[in-house]
Amino acid sequence: MRSINLHRTGEASKMKRSSRRWKKKGQMRWKWQRKRMKKEKRKRAKSR
């Protein structure tokens, strides 16, 4: 039981450490998606 608990806490600490990095990745993806959306809107406007 004890070893399982230690493993779990280790995983939790890893998550906390990498959470900041993941937030940045999420923001980058969001920015990229927004740019893509703008392009898609332009394409639709041209096709009309």
**Cα separation of 13 and 5, whole Å?**
12
Give the sign of the dihedral formed by CA 22, CA 27, CA 32, CA 34: positive
Query: Residues 12-38: pLDDT tens digits?
Result: 666 666 666 666 777 777 777 888 888
The answer to whether the pTM exceeds 0.85 is no
Q: Give residue-wise pLDDT tens across range 36-48.
A: 888 888 888 877 7
CA atoms of 21 and 18, how far apart (whole Å) = 5
Tokens 């959470």 label which residue?
19
- Which residue do the tokens 């900041």 mark? 20
List the domain boundaries for the chain: 1-48
> Which pLDDT score, from 0 to 100, does residue 37 have?
83
Using CA atoms, how far apart are residues 30 and 24, in angstroms rounded to an integer?
10
